[in-house]
Amino acid sequence: MQSIGNDNVRQALNERDGFQVWWRLMRPHTLTASFVPVFIGTMLAALDGSINWLLFGAMLLACILIQCATNMFNEYYDFVRGLDNEQSVGIGGTIVRDGIKPKTILTLALVFYAISMLLGIYICIESSWYIALIGLACMLCGYLYTGGPYPISYTPFGELTSGVFMGAIIICITYYIQTLTLTGSVVLISIPTTIFISCINFANNLRDHDGDKANGRRTVAILLGRPKGVAFMGICFIVCYVITAVFIAVGLLPIWAVITFLSIKKARDAYRGFIGKTQPLEMMPAMKATGQTNTIYGLLLVIALLIQQFVPFSF
């Protein structure tokens, strides 16, 4: 992570003590990547049948816990590798600024994984044990993102990995456990959300470009450079909305899905927020807007699917 050369980072980031310490550790701005896909997959399943709300709750909680644990592994291993310091931006700061022991963070992450595994057992009992293999792969990916001898976050595959595992795979699993089937339509509909989630990770790497490069990382943001990286993010946003428009036009998504285009303003804010910026702290609003783009798009898509269920419409 890059230092911003400011002795009063906590004040600049508006960091507080108490419960806020643990809340920051979970990096709440990233949790949209765990709950939005679950909502989308569930509503797609609702159009094809009924919803088992216990399964929905178990899947939602398991995904959030895995995401939180992944963020904790990130906090732990970035500290162990000497990437984080008291002035680092974009981290929970639980270790370097709040003084929580690294072992505590690692233990908590493992506890979250253990709880998610118990939830996974229930999900498998109610659906299929094949889900266990995919769930374990997701958990392993979450750990290896920053853990292990060759962290995924050090490679150009970090954005793609996070997008696929937390976007497409979660949507498909969520749909499958409700319907015990999987269609090509569900896979296609998951593409925009997969890209948006990849953009959350990409935005993080844009912000940390200089520090990551100095520490030997080879992310897509580093390979492209910051100016081209910002342009690439803009292209990704455009692709998401073009795909959505095509899906509506061909009937893959209901006409009500046009409301997802209301999220374009937030995507524009995210894109513009990175232009010309070089310091991590000044890019934080753009980071937040990137996560909000995924949240707003996803929730609006859920609303559109819900409307379609009660007010069916087709060309």
Asked whether residue 168 is domain-assigned, the answer is: yes
| Residue 166 is assigned to a structural domain of this protein | yes
Phi, psi of 129 (to 5 degrees): -75, -10
Domain, as residue range, for 86: 9-305
Using the predicted structure, report yes or no on whether residue 9 has a pLDDT greater than 60. Answer: no
The answer as to whether 315 is a domain residue is no
Res 15 pLDDT > 60: no
Over residues 142-171, the pLDDT tens digits come to 999 888 888 998 899 999 999 999 999 999
- Does residue 4 belong to any structural domain of this protein? no
Q: How confident is the model at residue 92 (pLDDT cuts 50, 70, 90)?
A: low
Residue 311 is assigned to a structural domain of this protein: no
Whether 121 maps to a domain, the answer reads yes
Would you state the pLDDT for residue 6?
39
Give the chain's domain count: 1
Mean per-residue pLDDT over the chain, rounded: 88
Determine, yes or no, domain membership for 312.
no
pTM for this predicted structure: 0.89
Which residue, among 291, 299, 233, has the nearest Cα to 260 in the 3D structure? 299
pLDDT at 215: 79
In a domain, 154, yes or no: yes
pLDDT of residue 2: 40
Which CATH number covers residue 256? 1.10.600
pLDDT at site 91: 58
